[in-house]
């Protein structure tokens, strides 16, 4: 019985990784200038059975939200407490292989905005180093980002993970060189 369960879990994980790889390839085909980063994500997914777990000390998948207002003209950013900079909402997969669901969950938890929904497939890929902190060594985040759109109620609630939240005009984010380069890249994609 245990062998059957173990075999079933391996097949299921392969299926989930296969779906992610297909999504990454669709992203690569859409954003041809990002073939190198897409190849890194695909290689990581195929090489690490524990790619969705924090326990992988080399790195792991995370899901993030490019959280836009209902009219698509603004994006909700959070001033991240641990990293002390403005970023998009997002977080660890913690075993969840559906990274769009992870992005939506994290957007809901980190902003308190009601009525959010994911639109489309992968919007952006970003691989970035996370500095060592406490018992956690330096590692990579393979961040898969999705467009998440707010509904009619755009009110938010600041939680313990951030110092502040703010709606910003996407055009301003694209031009603000004090912001993270990946935020500016997503803003430019959104405006294209």
Tell the residue number behind the tokens 């326990």, with chain if given. 55
Q: What are the pLDDT digits (tens) for 88-101?
A: 999 999 999 999 99
H or E stretch at 79:
strand 74-80
Please check the confidence at residue 174 and state whether its pLDDT lies above 70: yes
Please, which pLDDT band fits residue 86 given cuts at 50, 70 and 90? very high
**Is residue 107 a contact partner of residue 65, using CB atoms and an 8 Å limit?**
yes
Cα 122 to Cα 67, 127, 143, 144, distances in angstroms: 13, 14, 10, 7
Distance separating alpha carbons of residues 74 and 17, to the nearest angstrom? 33
| CA-angle at 156, arms to 154 and 160, nearest 5° | 160
| 7-16, long-range: CB < 8 A, 24+ apart | 13/49, 13/97, 16/97, 16/98
pLDDT category of residue 9 using cuts at 50, 70 and 90:
very low
Provide the CATH number for the domain formed by 2-191 in this structure.
3.90.79.10
| DSSP tag of 121 | E
Residue-wise pLDDT for 109-126, tens only, equals 999 999 999 999 999 999
Query: Is the entire prediction scored with pTM above 0.85?
Result: yes
């Amino acid at each position: 019985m245990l062998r059957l369960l173990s075999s079933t879990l391996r097949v299921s994980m392969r299926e989930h990784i296969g779906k992610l790889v297909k999504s990454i390839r669709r992203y690569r085909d859409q954003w041809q200038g990002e073939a190198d980063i897409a190849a890194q994500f695909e290689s990581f997914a195929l090489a690490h059975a524990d790619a969705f777990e924090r326990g992988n000390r080399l790195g792991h998948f995370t899901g993030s939200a490019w959280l836009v207002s209902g009219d698509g003209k603004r994006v909700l950013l959070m001033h991240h407490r641990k990293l002390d900079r403005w970023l998009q909402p997002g977080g660890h997969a913690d075993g969840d292989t559906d990274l769009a669901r992870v992005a939506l969950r994290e957007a809901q938890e980190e902003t308190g905005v009601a009525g959010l929904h994911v639109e489309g497939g992968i919007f952006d890929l970003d691989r970035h180093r996370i500095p060592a902190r406490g018992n956690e060594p330096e590692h990579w985040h393979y961040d898969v980002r999705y467009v998440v759109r707010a509904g009619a109620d755009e009110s938010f609630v600041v939680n313990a993970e951030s110092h502040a939240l703010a709606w910003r005009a996407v055009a301003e984010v694209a031009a603000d060189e004090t912001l993270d380069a990946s935020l500016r890249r997503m803003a430019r994609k959104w405006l294209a």
